[in-house]
Structure formats: structure tokens, C-alpha cells
């Protein structure tokens, strides 16, 4: 198993619990359990919220992307070009889930159009994962957002109620503002009970937001049939005489620089929609010079991320209010709606209303025109009034947006991939249309000045599409079982398998696919088919 994030974590748990011999290879190390409680606390609790890479002036909507855990250009999967696609990776156990926001929504039946199986096939796996990782939320009976198995969310705050009311007053049949669905333990009295930091994307101090190392790894870490091998950077997959079987995984021990091989009866790549194609491209040999599992020529094509519009404001009706409520996990609302493009075509989008404690004062740019004494008073007056809407629409499955082999080497001498990515005029129109809708909501909620950005350069961090599912070997990299069309003992389970990225966050679906794959592999193993294959 390569990777310990959303896909690799759930799958390692399922397979180890089923009794299979499992080794998880993880490029990075394991953060201390108290890392986000002592070393790197959320918000301004550590070093006033100033990091080594914080810059002035800066875009407040970019503050989430300044974090020491994100991989640098010399270790990332892809070559970073100025103005190009920005890939965010975390090389540590849990991967990107180290800083995961926890949003856990199901895809709808319509979102699975074109997949080799339907929603009914996935529903039971969604439910199993929701119970395993603990998702808070409410049943709403919205066809486009199927309900799940939830524990109660935290109570809405005054700002949330203002946004709910503003959405209702739009009078749009397809517009919703409902409690968020997040993989957070909101139940009281437990070691991992949510402690209401107001923000999840800085890392959870108590492991309340699901991540492999906090929840599932402790249950399998001491099993004799499970091993977590950290600092193991996978370079390529190796075949022996059988062209349809992987024999071993070659990796570098990043602490010693030694190259090692791990023989495996079955390999699962769960390294993400950019790193997984990189490994496959770097596994090219004489028999498959275009990369392993790429006889269809589909590997790396259609890289997608959710285009987004982000709007921040101060609600004047909250000016001067002191906080007498639980700040919770910051983004307590999901927003859903449909809006239209200039040509009249309607499209759906989803997002959040975020209200946290601005102890790290990224709002100061908006107060720039005022002299210091006035700024101080305004900052006090407005402190508990800030709301941000982050709205996401479907990715653009353009085959020209792709991951392809590159020549530049990373710090370990491994070829990085190149990313070709352009944002279409239609995508720009979609982001603009979402922003228009967001402004209407905020104005109805007593917005003052609105600060707005939009982006589709990788900052959604929902990478998908590069190793797509398809029943047709000519159209995809993997089949309905997530198994390579070309290699019989190679599986893929990360965002890359999602052929067309809908508006909704993909993480829960990756985990449901992992759960399903775990059951498939366990059954296959039980039938002794591994030996026969």
C-alpha cells in the first residue's frame, strides 16, 4: 500500500483487520501525537499565527496555504512553475488529512453518471465509513446531497442563522443552507471530543477531525500482520517476466538514501492524483515505454480541481457583539444552489459559510485606509462579525489539463512530473457566477465591503481524474474493481480514480471506494485468487 491519506488509511485498516499481510509505505514521517497541541497550535496560539513563509502584504484567502507541512518544490511530485498549477502535498503519515477540514459529503446518483457502477453500489460503503470516522450532520432529504449516518453537529451561531435566513430570502427552490457534514467527533467526554478551535485546517489538537493516525492506525499498529514503513519514498513499480504482474515496489529510504525493494503479491497506489501517475510514469520500461498501466494512453489526462469563489465580509448587524456562543469548528454551514452562465446553462455548486475567531488578523488589509487609532477601534467593533463564503463548482475534465512525465529531478533524484493546466473561459464564468450568488447572500445578511477572489490553480486541493475508472479499457486506467486494466495485481485508490469531479468534496467518496476495495481484496484473498492470479 502506497500512501496513508484518505484512501490508504481506510484500506490499510480494512485489509489488516481482514488478516492480510499489509505494509503501508509512507514518504514522510509520523508527527508526534501532540504536534498540533504543543508545537503548532491553531490560529494565533503559536507565534501570533506568523509562520516562516508568511508575507506582507498578502491575500487573506491564501493564508491557509502557508504551512510548514506542505511539501516544497524540491520534494513535491510536480515541477512548480510561476503562475502554473499549485500542487499541495503533505509528506507525513495521514498525508493531506494532517490539515483536513473534514468535510464529508456523499456524491449523488447523478454525480456518478458514467461510472461503471451506480450510487446503490456505493451507498453501503459510504455508511460504513461515516460510522467508522464519525461524521456530524443532519438528515435533510435533498436529492442532490444524499443523507448519511450522522452524529449531531454543533449548534449554529448568530452568523450562521443570518446566512440561513439570507439564503431563504433568496426564494430559490434549489438553494439550501444546512448544517455542515464533517468528520468531527462532536460527542462530549471523549479524548477526541471537538474542543472548538474555530478552524480545522490548521490541524486538530486532539484528533477530533478524522485522520488515520488518530483513529484507525492505533487499532492495527500492533497487529502482527501490519507494518507502517515511514520515510519510504516510492520511486517505481517493477515487473518480472509476467508483463501483467507487478513483482516489487522500489523505494528510497529518505533518511539513509538507500534504495530498497519490497516484494508484494498485490500493490495499491493511494498516493494522490498527481503522485500516483508520477509513480506509474516513472515505472515505464521497454514493454510499456509510456508508463505502467497506460496502454490506453489515459494516464495523467483530465487533471481536475474544484474551481472556487471565496468572499469575505463583515456583517454590520454583528458589530459590537461579544461572543457568547460555541465557535465550534468554524464552518458550520453547507450552502448549495444552482446558478446560470451567460449562455443560460445552469450548474450546481456547493460551499460553506465560515465564521471563526480572527485571532490571526488577516482582516487588516481591509482596514488599511484608516489611521492606527481608528483601525484599533474598528477592529474591536468588528471582531466577531466576519463571515467567509467558499463556493465550489465541478471540475473541468479537459484532457489537455494533464500530468505528464518530466525531466526535472527532485531532491532524491526522482523525476518529477510536469502539469499542463489552463482555466477555460467557461470555468471563469462559473466562478464569476458563484461569486455573484455569494454577494447576493452576503448583502441580504448585512454585508459591508466584500473581499472576493476566485481560483482554479490547485488551491481547491481536490485533485482528481488522472487514473480514471472506466469499464472500457480504452477509456480508463482502472476497472470497476479499481484494478488496473493492464496489470492484474495493481489497484489504485485515490482522487485520481474519479473520472469527472462534481462540485462536491471528494474525500468521503475516496474513503468509501477504499472501503469497497478492502472488501473486494479480502474476498479475492479469501478465494485464494491471489495465488492463482
Are 495 and 511 in contact, with CB atoms under 8 Å apart? Answer: no
**What is the separation of C-alpha 320 from the centre of its chain, rounded to a whole number of angstroms?**
36
| Cα distance between residue 159 and residue 164, in whole Å | 9
Query: Which is nearer to another protein, 3 or 49 (by Cβ)?
Result: 49
Least distance from another protein to the Cβ atom of residue 44, Å: 4
Three-state SS letters, 18-42: CCCCEEEECCCECCCCCHHHHHCCC
Q: Return the number of the residue (57 or 344) whose C-beta is nearest another protein.
A: 57
Q: How far is the CB of 157 from another protein (least distance, A)?
A: 11
Number of C-beta neighbours around residue 508 at 10 A: 25
* Angstrom distance (rounded) from CA 32 to CA 336: 37
Query: In the bound complex, what is the minimum distance in angstroms from residue 59's beta carbon to another protein?
Result: 13
Q: Which is nearer to another protein, 37 or 317 (CB)?
A: 37
Q: Output 57 or 257, the one with its CB closest to another protein.
A: 57
Taking the complex as a whole, how short is the minimal distance between the CB of residue 381 and another protein, in angstroms?
A: 9
From the number of C-beta atoms within 10 Å of its C-beta (0-12, 13-18, 19+), residue 225 rates as middle
Q: How far is the CB of 314 from another protein (least distance, A)?
A: 14
User: How many angstroms separate the CA atoms of 48 and 449, rounded?
Assistant: 26
Burial class (CB in 10 A: 0-12, 13-18, 19+), 316: middle
Contact 332, 154 (CB under 8 A): yes
Shortest Cβ distance from residue 57 to another protein (Å)?
A: 6
Between 196 and 479, name the residue whose CB sits nearer to another protein: 196
Nearer of residues 357 and 492 to another protein, judged by Cβ: 357
Question: Cβ 100 to another protein, closest distance in Å?
Answer: 19
**Nearest distance from C-beta of residue 152 to another protein, angstroms:** 14
Our CB check for another protein shows the closer of 54 and 475 to be: 54
Cβ proximity to another protein, 57 vs 143, nearer residue: 57
β-strand partners of 184: 209
Q: Rank residues 387 and 501 by Cβ distance to another protein and give the closer one.
A: 387
Rounded to whole angstroms, the Cα distance separating 447 from 358 reads 17
Cβ proximity to another protein: between 161 and 244 the closer is 161
Residues at the interface with another protein (CB under 8 A): 37, 41, 43-45, 47-57, 195-198, 205-206, 322-323, 326-328, 357, 359-361, 364, 372-373, 376, 379-380, 383-384
Pairwise CA distance, residues 493 & 498, whole Å: 9
- Give the contacts of 226 (CB within 8 A, at least 6 positions apart): 12, 16, 22, 23, 24, 220
Contact 21, 15 (CB under 8 A): no
Closest approach of another protein to the CB of residue 528, in Å: 51
Contacts of 153 (CB under 8 A, 6+ apart): 136, 137, 138, 179, 180, 181, 182, 186, 332
Give the list of residues 6+ apart from residue 305 with CB closer than 8 angstroms, or none.
395, 456, 458, 459, 460, 461, 462, 463, 464, 501
CA atoms within 13 A of residue 213's CA, in its CB half-sphere = 27
For the bound state, the minimum distance from the C-beta of residue 343 to another protein, rounded and expressed in Å, comes to 43
Q: How far is the CB of 502 from another protein (least distance, A)?
A: 33
Kindly report the CA angle at 231 between 90 and 468, in degrees rounded to 5?
55
Cis peptide before 128 (omega within 30 of 0): no
The nearer residue to another protein, 153 or 328, going by C-beta atoms, is 328
Q: 45: closest CA among 199, 191, 213?
A: 199
SS3 state at 297 = coil
Q: Give 251 or 383: the residue with its C-beta nearer to another protein.
A: 383
CB of 358 to another protein, least distance (A): 9
Helical H runs in 366-506?
Answer: 372-382, 425-444
User: How many angstroms separate the CA atoms of 267 and 280, rounded?
Assistant: 12
Amino acid at each position: 500500500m502506497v500512501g496513508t491519506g484518505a484512501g490508504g488509511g481506510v484500506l490499510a485498516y480494512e485489509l489488516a483487520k481482514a488478516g492480510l499481510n499489509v505494509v503501508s509505505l509512507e514518504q514522510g514521517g509520523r508527527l508526534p501525537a501532540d504536534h498540533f497541541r504543543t508545537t503548532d497550535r491553531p490560529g494565533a496560539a503559536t507565534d501570533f499565527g506568523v509562520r516562516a513563509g508568511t508575507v506582507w502584504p498578502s491575500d487573506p484567502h491564501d493564508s491557509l496555504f502557508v504551512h510548514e507541512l506542505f511539501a516544497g518544490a524540491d520534494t513535491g511530485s510536480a515541477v512548480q512553475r510561476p503562475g502554473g498549477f499549485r500542487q499541495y502535498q503533505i509528506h507525513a503519515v495521514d498525508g493531506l488529512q494532517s490539515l483536513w477540514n473534514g468535510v464529508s459529503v456523499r456524491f449523488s446518483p447523478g454525480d456518478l453518471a458514467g461510472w461503471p457502477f451506480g450510487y446503490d453500489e456505493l451507498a453501503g460503503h459510504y455508511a460504513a465509513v461515516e460510522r467508522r470516522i464519525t461524521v456530524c450532520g443532519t438528515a435533510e432529504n435533498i436529492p442532490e446531497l444524499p443523507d448519511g449516518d450522522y452524529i449531531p453537529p454543533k449548534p449554529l451561531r448568530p452568523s450562521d442563522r443570518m446566512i440561513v435566513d439570507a439564503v431563504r430570502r433568496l426564494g430559490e427552490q434549489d438553494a439550501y443552507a444546512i448544517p455542515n457534514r464533517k468528520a468531527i467527533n462532536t460527542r462530549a467526554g471523549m479524548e477526541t471530543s471537538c474542543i472548538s478551535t474555530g478552524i480545522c485546517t490548521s490541524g486538530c489538537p486532539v484528533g477530533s477531525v478524522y485522520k488515520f493516525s488518530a483513529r484507525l492506525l492505533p487499532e492495527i499498529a500492533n497487529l502482527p500482520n501490519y507494518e507502517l514503513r515511514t520515510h519510504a519514498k516510492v520511486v517505481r513499480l517493477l515487473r518480472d517476466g509476467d508483463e501483467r504482474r507487478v513483482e516489487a515496489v522500489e523505494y528510497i529510504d529518505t533518511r539513509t538514501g538507500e534504495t530498497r525493494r519490497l516484494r508484494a503479491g498485490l500493490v495499491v497506489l493511494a498516493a494522490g492524483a498527481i503522485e500516483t501517475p508520477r509513480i506509474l510514469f516513472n515505472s515505464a520500461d521497454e514493454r510499456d515505454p509510456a508508463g505502467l498501466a497506460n496502454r490506453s494512453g489515459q494516464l495523467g489526462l483530465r487533471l481536475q480541481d474544484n474551481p472556487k469563489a471565496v468572499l469575505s465580509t463583515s456583517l454590520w448587524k454583528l458589530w459590537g457583539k461579544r461572543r457568547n456562543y460555541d465557535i465550534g469548528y468554524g464552518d458550520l454551514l453547507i450552502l448549495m444552489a444552482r446558478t446560470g452562465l451567460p449562455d443560460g446553462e445552469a450548474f450546481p455548486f456547493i460551499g460553506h459559510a465560515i465564521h471563526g475567531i480572527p485571532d490571526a488578523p488577516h482582516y487588516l488589509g481591509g482596514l488599511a485606509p484608516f489611521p492606527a487609532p481608528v483601525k484599533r477601534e474598528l477592529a474591536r467593533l468588528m471582531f466577531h462579525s466576519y463571515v467567509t463564503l467558499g463556493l465550489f463548482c465541478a471540475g473541468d475534465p479537459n484532457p489537455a489539463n494533464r500530468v505528464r512525465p518530466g525531466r526535472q529531478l527532485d531532491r532524491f533524484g526522482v523525476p518529477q512530473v510536469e502539469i499542463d493546466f489552463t482555466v477555460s473561459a467557461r470555468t471563469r464564468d462559473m466562478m464569476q457566477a458563484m461569486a455573484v450568488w455569494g454577494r447576493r447572500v452576503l448583502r441580504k445578511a448585512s454585508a459591508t465591503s466584500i473581499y472576493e477572489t476566485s481560483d482554479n490553480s490547485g488551491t481547491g486541493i481536490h485533485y482528481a481524474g488522472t487514473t480514471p475508472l472506466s469499464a472500457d479499457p480504452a477509456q480508463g486506467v482502472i476497472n470497476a474493481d479499481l484494478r488496473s486494466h493492464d496489470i492484474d495485481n495493481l489497484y489504485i485508490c485515490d482522487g485520481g480514480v474519479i473520472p469527472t469531479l462534481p462540485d462536491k468534496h471528494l474525500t468521503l467518496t475516496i474513503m468509501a471506494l477504499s472501503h469497497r476495495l478492502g472488501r473486494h481484496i479480502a474476498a479475492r484473498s479469501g478465494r485464494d485468487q491471489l495465488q492463482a492470479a
